[in-house]
A and B are shown apart, each in its own frame.
Chain A
Amino acid sequence: MSQLRPVDESLVAMAGIGVAQHQGILRTLLGSCVGVALYERKLKLVGLTHIVMPDSMGRNQPVGKYADTAIPETIRRMMDRAGGVRLSLSAKVAGGANMFAHVSPYNTNTIGEQNVVAVEKTLAALEIPIVARHLGGTAGRRMVVEVDSGVVQIHVIGQLAISI
């Protein structure tokens, strides 16, 4: 009887960055934070970052916390993994919810919304197209990235999972 090989699965924590190649799964949990999955199709290379805040304002640590530092650092780590070759990347982004809209001190332009704007701006500056989005709303998300295909599954409690 053959044995199934366990899937290599890693959780990317708040302000964390994960990189994997060829196989396995990267996942992260998102409320107001934004997850950015970068995919290099030919190399089957994925970078997933969990962005907490929109702007580092010159701070460089922790590098995974801010949109303007996390995305370049994720690309740098992907290039390291790829041996320095030029990458052709696309992005899928999810998160940016406002889960407690009733009690949020930010009536307009929530942290989640600011994170989304900052991510889009940073990706545009790097000329990385966003090919799928699952953003906003009032519910948390589990973002699961299949490394070999680049498919991203979004899980919301009480709803069927969807692929983007």
Chain B
Amino acid sequence: MNTLNEQQLDSLASIVRFGATDASRALSSWLGRPVRVSMERLEQVSLEIATELLGPADATVCACCLRVVGGMNGQLLLGFDDASGWMLCDALLSRETKSFQWGELEESAAMETSNIVGCAFLNALAQIFPRSTQAATGSEDSAWIPTPPVFVRDFAAAIMQFALIDQATEFDTVLIAQTQFTIDGTPVGWSLLLVPDAESLDRLARTLT
């Protein structure tokens, strides 16, 4: 089992909500429309449940993946179905006709969006964590640095296996923070997932004690 108790999960949930607020601001500015990013769930779930967080195992979904390194290591994924992704592209590219396929421009729009949301989210979290993380670990490395995003369109379960593998090496359940999005008050099928690796999860446990 993983190492966070209920109290630690509550503390972490408050921090993730803080990150979601900053991500809302950044995405609203990027899209020029009111966007709300809210925390949907923060919990430790079995591998079986976790693999379906982006949709049914067989569903075709898209994801932009950023690897996070530094004060915390793990995976940050912005996941969405085709229709939700194309809606984002149409809004960004001011298209009057609806997109219906993924090309270089559409993938680029999705990756840039994930970059903006992901960086805002991570920056907010890193503002809260660094001192306590350093105190808990003795580490000087407090920056949370995302790699450039990678776009992938594949089976939901296959994408999630990649995101989960760093925790699955050590644990039989995984800690997942998942957020949902609304644009102009309307829910859209995007989901931001943060999955710390096993070592970072251990750091979190010490930091949140």
Judged by a CB distance under 8 angstroms, whether B57 is at the interface is yes
Q: Which residues from 114 to 155 on chain B have a C-beta closer than 8 Å to any C-beta of chain A? A: 147-148, 150, 152-155
Q: Given A103-B147, A157-B60, A157-B153, are A15 and B159 neighbors across the interface (CB < 8 Å)? A: no
Shortest CB-to-CB span from B105 to chain A, Å, is 19
Asked whether any CB of chain A lies closer than 8 Å to the CB of B202, the reply is: no
| Nearest Cβ on chain A to B129's Cβ, whole angstroms | 20
Q: Label chain B's interface by main secondary structure.
A: mixed
How far, in whole Å, are A142 and B162 apart by their CA atoms in the complex?
15
**Stretch touching chain B among A25-33, A68-76, A120-128:** A25-33
B7 at the interface (CB under 8 A from A): no
Q: Is there an interface contact between A13 and B47, defined as CB atoms closer than 8 Å?
A: yes
In angstroms, Cα B161 to Cα A100, docked, is 11
Chain B residues contacting A29 (CB-CB under 8 Å) are 51, 57-58, 155-158, 161
B148-180 CB contacts (< 8 Å) to partner A: 148, 150, 152-162, 164-166, 168-169, 172
Whether the Cβ atoms of B154 and A140 lie closer than 8 Å is: yes
Q: Does A31 lie within 8 Å of B172, measured CB to CB?
A: no
Q: Which of A15, A61, A157 contacts B155 (CB 8 A)?
A: A157
> Does B150 contact A30, Cβ atoms closer than 8 Å?
no
Residue among A13, A65, A100 with most chain B CB within 10 A? A100
Check A31–B65 contact: CB distance below 8 A.
no
B149 to chain A, nearest CB (A): 8
Bound Cα distance A3, B57 (Å):
29
Interface size for A (C-beta < 8 A) is: 28
Query: Which chain B residue shows the least CB distance to A29?
Result: B157
Q: Quick check: B162 and A31 within 8 Å, CB to CB?
A: yes
Asked whether A65 and B158 contact (CB < 8 A) given A15-B48, A29-B57, A157-B153, the answer is no
Asked if A130 CB lies within 8 Å of chain B CBs, one says: no
Complex: chain B residue closest to A27, CB-CB: B58
Q: Digit string of A42-65 for contact with B (CB within 8 Å is 1, else 0)?
A: 000000000011000000011001
Residues in chain A within 8 A of chain B (CB atoms): 11, 13-16, 29-33, 52-53, 61-62, 65, 97, 99-100, 102-105, 111, 139-142, 157
21 CB-based A-B contacts, threshold 8 Å: A11-B57, A13-B57, A14-B51, A15-B172, A29-B155, A29-B156, A31-B157, A31-B159, A31-B160, A32-B162, A52-B47, A99-B152, A99-B154, A103-B66, A103-B150, A104-B67, A111-B169, A140-B154, A140-B157, A141-B155, A141-B158
